[in-house]
Amino acid sequence: MKNKVSPKIMSGFMELLPAEQIVFDKMKQIIEQTYQTYGFVSLDTPVMELSEVLLAKAGGETEKQIYRFQKGDADISLRFDLTVPLARYVAAHQNDLAFPFRRCQISKSYRGERPQRGRLREFYQADIDIIGSEKLSVLADAELPSIIYQTLKNLGLDRFMIRLNNRKVLKGFYEALGLADKQVDILRLIDKIDKIGVQNVMEGLKDLGLDEKACAQIKGLIEIQGSSNEVICALKELGVQNDLYIQGVDELEKVAQAMINLGTPESHFKIDLTIARGLDYYTGTVYETNVIGHEEWGSICSGGRYENLAENYTDRKYPGVGMSIGLSRLFDFLRGANMLRIGAVTPADVLIVPMANDTRYALKVATMLRNAGVKTEVYFADTKFKNKMTYANKIKVPYVLILGEDEEKNTAVSLKNMVTGDQQTVVLGDLIPVMEEAVLARPPEKPVFQKA
Whether 140 and 115 have beta carbons less than 8 Å apart is answered as: no
CB 377 → a copy of itself: shortest distance, Å? 3
272/377 with CB nearer a copy of itself: 377
* Site residues (CB under 8 A) for a copy of itself, limited to 376-395: 376-378, 380-382, 391, 394-395
237-266 positions binding a copy of itself, by CB under 8 A: 258, 261-263
Please count the residues of this chain forming the interface with a copy of itself, following the rule CB under 8 A.
103
Measured over the CA atoms of residue 80, residue 161, residue 116 and residue 126, the dihedral's sign is: negative
**Is there binding between residue 100 and a copy of itself (CB under 8 A)?**
yes
Q: Among 34-42, 278-286, 301-309, 333-341, which window interacts with a copy of itself (CB under 8 A)?
A: 34-42
Binding segment for a copy of itself (CB under 8 A), chosen from 50-58, 206-214, 284-292, 335-343, is 50-58
What is the C-alpha separation between 410 and 413, in angstroms, rounded? 8
Beta bridge pairs of residue 288: 163
Exactly one of 38, 153, 154, 281 binds a copy of itself (CB under 8 A); that residue is 38
Under rule CB under 8 A, residue 112 binds a copy of itself: yes
In a 3-state reduction of DSSP, which class is residue 277?
Answer: coil
Q: Is 249 exposed, middle or buried (0-12, 13-18, 19+ CB in 10 A)?
A: buried
Our finding on whether 23 is near a copy of itself (CB under 8 A) is no
The answer to whether the CB of 26 falls within 8 A of the CB of 327 is: no
Closest distance of CB 36 from a copy of itself, Å: 4
Contact with a copy of itself (CB under 8 A) among 62, 154, 314, 414: 314
Residue 313 interacts with a copy of itself (CB under 8 A)? yes
Residue 426 CB partners (closer than 8 Å, separation 6+)? 412, 413, 414, 415, 434
Please name the residues in contact with 452: beta carbons below 8 A apart, sequence gap of 6 or more: 158, 159
Counting contacts by CB under 8 A, is residue 56 touching a copy of itself?
yes
Contact between 64 and a copy of itself per CB under 8 A = no
Bond prior to 347 in cis (omega within 30° of 0): no
Of 84, 104, 95, residue with least CA distance to 29 = 104
Which listed range, 160-168, 270-278, 294-302, 375-383, lies at the site for a copy of itself (CB under 8 A)?
Answer: 375-383
Q: Which of 62, 97, 283, 307 lies at the binding interface for a copy of itself (CB under 8 A)?
A: 97
Neighbours of 1 (CB within 10 A): 3
Q: Give whichever of 246 and 345 is closer to a copy of itself, judged by the CB atom.
A: 345
Give the HSE-up count for residue 342: Cα atoms under 13 Å, Cβ half-sphere.
16
Shortest Å, Cβ 65 to a copy of itself = 10
Contact region with a copy of itself (CB under 8 A), list: 165-173, 222-230, 306-314, 422-430: 306-314
Question: Could you tell me the smallest distance in angstroms from the CB atom of residue 213 to a copy of itself?
Answer: 40
Instruction: Decide: 289 and 162 in contact? Cβ < 8 Å.
Output: yes
Nearest to 171 by CA among 286, 83, 257, 289: 286
Query: What is the DSSP code (8-state) at residue 14?
Result: -
The residue from 240, 273, 339, 366 that contacts a copy of itself (CB under 8 A) is 366
Is there a contact between 254 and 166 (Cβ–Cβ < 8 Å)?
A: no
Q: Is 22 in the site for a copy of itself (CB under 8 A)?
A: yes
Q: Which is nearer to a copy of itself, 152 or 205 (CB)?
A: 152
